[in-house]
Structure 1
Amino acid sequence: MTAPARTARGSEELIRAEEPVLAHNYHPLPVVVARAEGAWVEDVEGRRYLDMLAGYSALNFGHRHPALVEAAHRQLDRLTLTSRAFHNDRLAGFAERLAALTGTDMVLPMNTGAEAVESGIKVARKWAYDVKGVPADRATIVVAADNFHGRTTTIVSFSTDETARSGFGPFTPGFRIVPYNDLAALEAAVDETTAAVLIEPIQGEAGVLIPDDGYLAGVRELTRRKGCLFVADEIQSGLGRTGHTLAVEHESVVPDVVLLGKALGGGIVPVSAVVGRRDVLGVLHPGEHGSTFGGNPLAAAVGTAVVELLETGAFQRRAAELGAVLREGLAALVGRGVVGFRARGLWAGVDVDPALGSGREISERLMREGILAKDTHGSTIRLAPPLTVTAEELTGALGTLEKVLTS
């Protein structure tokens, strides 16, 4: 990277300047990024950091991947937005290739991950009324405790995280919450009103919680037997992160509907999608759903370039191979500041000995050593570097984590 353009204000001043004008949502680490390339970022003073979070998997292909930047530049010179009032020449190709990549029939393009989840909920309810025959306004959706699907009012209605939920009621009805990774509880909650079971194949925000082998296959068998939909939220886990295109592929499971986002926009523009079977997504008719920006030409161009990167399988293989390096490195730290971890592909939740500090405190210490990671809850931090990270960079980051935990 060339040296970043100097700003008139330094990091501390810029952080202070945010306080009176920005409403609170995240609690970011005290670093002000000004430039990035690949797996590395620089702050406004020119300090370099290895990005071990990758925008919560939105940056699976690293910062400013050349193929994605080129696709965006080409499209910026031609057409950026028509709204869905008109067709555009990029959308059909994007939908065709995304459907082929995910082994599905149809694509509903949206923008953010939360929009994909909201759209998936609408599709499931419409399917329940039109196809399953659930009486009007009685459809239910079964979800898992400790889920994270977004922060809209409907989504936080079925969150068990009181920080995300408290103070935002009244809440949307129609959801049943069961423990994650518990097929017996799931079966007990499903009845004739159930439109869908909505789960994350791996619970990211909860600490990269990986279910027992057979759980996802059990969800698939149960939903098929009970006559409801299996909706998999792959917004964080999908598009190469776990070593497969989709995390459900670890159990050779094919959901009825898959929710995609984050990495689908290549870290350049927000792009999300609901993909699934024709007889499910086909319940939507013109005027029943929509998005001014969903499927816009710029998003479709970047999204197509993302699909092209994944079509080779190279990034999926890379995540699997480097995932072995990540697991081996973390295993060596168990008993040396790490009390446990869960990892799949290039994604890990690391439980640090609480006596050494909270996840936030550990993340701040890593930041001071040139590594950017983020806490989840308690003393757990998550690691999700770009899939472009090298083995040497990954090993170096784990060495820095060891230093932070043992010094």
Structure 2
Amino acid sequence: MECLKNCCKRLIKKRGAEPDETDGIAMQINPGGSKSSSIDGSHTDYFLSKLPQDGKEVPFILPTTKTSYVQPAASDSHDLLYQMPGVGERPDGSKLHNSNKKNYDSLSSTVSTSSSFQSSTESSCESGEDLGSLCVRLSYQEKEEQVWITLVQCSQLNLPVNAAQKPRIQIRGIITLPKAIHFKTTIKEYSQDTHFMETFVFALSLQTLHRSALLLKLQTHGARKRTAAECVLSLRGLQTRETEQWLRLGPPGAAARKGCELRLATCFQPVYRRIQVRALAAQNLQTSSLSLAQEYAVTVELHGDGIPVAREKTLALKAVEGQCQWNAVFYLELGALHPSSCRLSIQLFVRTSLKKKRCVGQVQLGLAVPNPEAVEQWKDTIEHPEKVVTAWHAVT
């Protein structure tokens, strides 16, 4: 500081004279006293120093700053285009369709890209009205922490549309996270067999995906846009190996549960003539966008010969990030009934702060129920007494 003060005093006295060669440091500043920045981001203010031997000037300047991507502000649109270099091929080497088009979702901070995907039949719509089927491929790249979703094609479409109006169709997908991720295909001409072959890539952790579901809506574009069919797929079974399945399309509203699942444990205790049922947890539950608090509860009913025999229920709990954990244990007395002739009906209820209660859906366990996984769990339970059999089931 003393050196700088002395330099300033000499400059004031000499008023335009050249600085002495023996002065240690000379300071150059911009007129006006304010700092300015160049286009590349480096400041023009700098200090010069003289080496004592050869007088070589060594400038001290601020380093140039590298431009980086900044998260855009939240927007109502989920279709902001953002170029992401480095993603041009699928893991198997096949080229992406429209690989230069990327969707950047500002709400979820995930990058998506067009590509193809197929899924499993366990989440097909349980509606009696069959409107066709949708082929999907699904895989997870563990190294990059990316999920690859490919919408391949629709087959045997049977939509209530007017062919004379030449309608067009589009598939809109939703990953049901607390902050839902939306994506959509290009618009195609309607036909009974329509090919899409578009892949979407999202950077999400596998643990997060296992707690969510994929909702697919088939929309028609005519005089106005509307949802003509939909289906839902649980992502609980997502794995690194690519899978390909066909999903049944049902009427709108049939997939309103959006992949809600219950984890149930059963155990046959012949000594006590009872069935032990544990309502462990639920996942992928809907959370209200309103300020109304939502609580979920489960009721368990044992039916023998079509007649309710016993009924129990859990406490109502608030869902946290779409999940509830009860760990409730119930003991349902069989009496003279044989477990092979019994059926369990487990219902999921939601209640708001206004005390309105509605049934989200149910899971049935028994030897004569339409769900093969439920039949397998019940069969394993009664054939292996004292064994605790645990499984996840989609709420229908």
TM-score grouping bracket, smaller chain normalisation? under 0.3
Taking structure 1 as the reference length, what is the TM-score of the superposition? 0.21
Higher helix content, 1 or 2: 1
Return the structure number with greater relative CO, CA threshold 8 A, min gap 6: 1
Q: Which has the larger radius of gyration?
A: 2
